[in-house]
Amino acid sequence: MKLLVINPNISADVTALIEAEALRSAGPDTELIVRTAGHGVEYIETRFESLIAAGAVAEIIAEHAAGPASGQVDGIVVAAFGDPGMPALKELVDVPVIGITEAALCAAALQGQRFSIIAISDRITAWYRDCVEHFGLGGRLASIRSINQSLNSIGSVQADFKETLLALSRQAVAEDGADVVILAGAPLAGLARELEGQIPVPVVDGISAGIRMTEAVVALQSGFHRQGAFAPPPVKRRSGLTENLDAALASAQSAHLSAAPAT
């Protein structure tokens, strides 16, 4: 299967981290296309930055949906913790679009009862909390712990703060009752592998979970949204959208119309 993996941040070095971990995680028959947001910020920490990123992710999805058949993919992974644009982006195309947070939450929830999230900055935690609550698993969140120092460079966070991240993870287990720890955020991609055995509970990497859970959902071939809240948006007047987005909406709607069951 072919998966499109989108970095909603504009940082090429984070994209590199994502790509490396995605390649390590993907199954043997999975082909990956990795893209970086065309506009936005270096790394997303706030609800507003996430809103901007959601628009950038929509453009990349639309570009693929509207493009030549060779660009068609079987599933899409939105590779920033906090899941910018979710679940709205699921309306846009007929293949699964999955955020790494929701994937990581599922991977954690299947391995324990309560989980903690380890985050790269204090500011980012409010947005993460919203995301967990909107997904519906707020009752299983043991804690969110975060680095409270400023970062040198987003590409080197995991190297610069490895000991801190390890300590935060262990505190989450010992003090907050976490059964599973989620190392959150694309900048931490791959760290879970490196810390293997040093944290006394299962540790979930967002990128790995995103790839594996999306592979699983794609494989299920559950069918399309032709009714309900995730069917393509109804046909109506549009204006001022980018060419790709306009084409993607038009194409989604016509698929919808042609395939709608007679019921």
Site residues (CB under 8 A) for a copy of itself, limited to 178-217: 178-180, 192, 196-205, 208-209, 212-213, 215-217
Measured from the CB atom, the residue of 34 and 206 that comes closer to a copy of itself is 206
Return the residue of 6, 14, 41, 147 that touches a copy of itself, per CB under 8 A: 41
Rounded Cα distance, 117 and 96, in Å: 25
Which helix (H) or strand (E) is 63 found in, with range?
helix 47-66
The H-assigned helical ranges of 77-202 are 100-109, 124-135, 157-160, 162-176, 191-194
Q: Minimum distance from CB of 60 to a copy of itself (Å)? A: 12
Paired strand residues for 141: 115
Q: Minimum distance from CB of 52 to a copy of itself (Å)? A: 7
By CB under 8 A, the residues from 231 to 250 that bind a copy of itself are 231, 233-234, 236-241, 245
Angle at 43 between CA 60 and CA 59, to 5 degrees: 10
By CB under 8 A, the residues from 54 to 113 that bind a copy of itself are 54-56, 58, 85, 87-92, 96, 98, 102-103, 106-107, 109-113
Question: Quick check: 75 and 96 in contact, CB under 8 A?
Answer: yes
Which helix (H) or strand (E) is 132 found in, with range?
helix 124-135
Residue 179 tokens, joined = 């059964």
Return the residue of 31, 38, 156, 257 that touches a copy of itself, per CB under 8 A: 38
Residue 146 tokens, joined = 């975060």
Measured from the CB atom, the residue of 70 and 187 that comes closer to a copy of itself is 187
Binding residues for a copy of itself, rule CB under 8 A, total 105
Collapsing DSSP to helix, strand or coil, 204 comes out as strand
Measured from the CB atom, the residue of 58 and 80 that comes closer to a copy of itself is 58
Q: Per rule CB under 8 A, is residue 162 in the interface with a copy of itself?
A: no
Pairing of strands 97-99, 180-183: unpaired
By CB under 8 A, the residues from 45 to 64 that bind a copy of itself are 45-52, 54-56, 58
Q: Minimum distance from CB of 65 to a copy of itself (Å)? A: 12
Measured from the CB atom, the residue of 19 and 59 that comes closer to a copy of itself is 59
Residue 189 tokens, joined = 């991609």
